[in-house]
Amino acid sequence: MALEDLEVIPFDPQFRPRPEYLTWDAHLTAAFTEIDRLLEMILLVSESAPAMFGLEKYGIAESGRALKYRLLRTLAKIARKRAYFSTGLRQALYLAQCCEALHGARYTPEYPEVEWNDGLPNDAREAADIEHILLAAGATSLRGSLERLHPDWTPEQVTREEGLIREKVTV
C-alpha cells in the first residue's frame, strides 16, 4: 500500500516547528442565518404561519383572537382548500348513500351539508361578546344567541334558559 492511498498528511520529523493541533473556525453564524432564511421562504411558499409551529419572533399570542390574526395566512389557505374539497366530499358521501340504498338501506339518499371549522379552539369569551353585541343591536334573538353559544344543548334546555333569562330581565 502506497502512502498516497492513505488519507494522511505526511510529516517530516526534521520539520520545525512540529504541527501539534489543527484548528478550524467554522463561522457557523452564516450557516444558521441561511437556515433561518430558508425556513422563512418555506413558510412563505407553503402559506403557513410561523405561529403554527411556534417559530414566532414577537412572542406568543395572548388570546384566541390574537392567534387567529397571526394564523390568518394559513386560515385563508384552509378556506381555499375547503372550497375545493366540499363539492367532492358531498358527492362521495351522496354516492356512498346511493350504494347503501342499493343494498337495502331504507332511506332516500340526499346530498349532505358539510360543516367545516378552522381547527382552532373556539374562544368562548369572544363568542359571548359577539352575541352580546348582536343581541343589544337587535340583530339576533335571545334564542338564536343561546343556540349558537351552546350548540350541544337540546331545544328544551335552550327554552328553559331563555325563560330564566327573561324572568331575570323582568324582575
Boundaries of every domain in the chain: 123-171
Q: How far apart are CA 33 and CA 28, in angstroms?
A: 8
pLDDT in tens, 44-59: 999 888 888 888 877 7
How many Cβ atoms from other residues are within 10 Å of residue 48's Cβ? Answer: 16
Which whole-number Å values give the CA distances from 46 to 81, 97, 118, 121, 136, in the listed order?
A: 13, 36, 17, 23, 41
The pTM (predicted TM-score) of the whole model is 0.56
Q: What confidence tier does 91 reach under pLDDT thresholds 50, 70, 90?
A: very high
Task: Answer with the residue of higher pLDDT: 30 or 171.
Answer: 30
Is 101:109 a contact under the CB 8 Å cutoff? yes
Please name the amino acid found at residue 136.
A
pLDDT in tens, 113-134: 998 887 787 888 889 999 999 9
